[in-house]
Amino acid sequence: MAIAKLMNVRIVFPRMWTPFDDGGKYTCAFLIEKDSQAYAAFMSAVKEAWTAGRQKFGAQSFCENPTLAQVYNRAYVKVDGGLDSRGNPVPEYYAGCIGFNGNSTKPIPVIDVTGAPVSEGDQRVYDGQRAHVSLDILATCRDNNPCIGRYIRSVMILSGGERIDTGRGGFVSAQDEWASEIQPGADAFGDIAPF
C-alpha cells in the first residue's frame, strides 16, 4: 500500500458525508492535470502499489513493466478523448486531465484550510472545487484480475476552482436563478391556496 497526497486537484460528484449506494460507500471523483505534481505523486503511489501487488499476487497478475494503458485500466482511470466503463465518451471537462473515483466505507473527514470541519451542504463544496486529497493506493486482485484500489483518507477544501457543469444541477444559485421574482419582505406563504 502507498499513501498519495495529491495537492490542488479538482473534485467532482462529492458524496463524502452520505453513502452513495446500498453498499454504504462514500465516494468522490478527482480530476488531476497531467502536467501537475499531483499527477506525478499519484503515478508514483500507483507504481509503489503495483510493485507490492507483484510481490503479493505474482507476476501473472501484475506484470513487471506495465504500459500506461494497463496502469490506467487497472486503476480505473479515465482520460480525455477516451471512453468510460459504459462505452460513453469521457466528458469535455476531463481535457488535459486524468480522472478516477476514490471511496471509503466510512464518512470522509473533510476540512477547510483553517482546519475547521466542512459538513454536507456547505456551499464551498461543488463540482470543480479545488482540494488537497490523501489516498491509500492499494493493489488487489479480484477474480484473478489485478486492480489498483483508491481509498480516500481525508480531503482539505481549498478556495477556488471553476465550477463544472456535470448535468446534475446546482450550477447556479437559487438567488441568481430567481432574482427577478424575489420579493423582499413578502409573506412567503400568505398567498398560497390551501390544499
Can you read off the three cell numbers belonging to residue 178?
A: 430567481
Record: fold of 2-177: OB fold (Dihydrolipoamide Acetyltransferase, E2P) (2.40.50)
Q: What is the pTM of this model?
A: 0.76
pLDDT in single tens digits along all 195 residues of the chain: 899 999 999 998 888 888 877 678 898 989 899 899 999 999 999 999 989 988 888 877 788 877 777 777 766 777 766 666 667 777 677 778 888 889 999 999 999 999 999 988 787 788 888 999 999 999 888 777 788 889 999 999 997 777 776 665 544 555 665 667 766 765 544 554 454
* Nearest residue to 100 via CA among 53, 54, 142, 45: 45
pLDDT value of residue 67: 74
Strands 110-112 and 130-142: unpaired
Tell me what pLDDT residue 189 has: 46
- Alpha-helix runs per DSSP H in the chain: 37-57, 68-74, 174-177
Query: Residues 28, 135: contact at Cβ < 8 Å?
Result: no
Any idea where the domains of the chain sit in the sequence?
A: 2-177
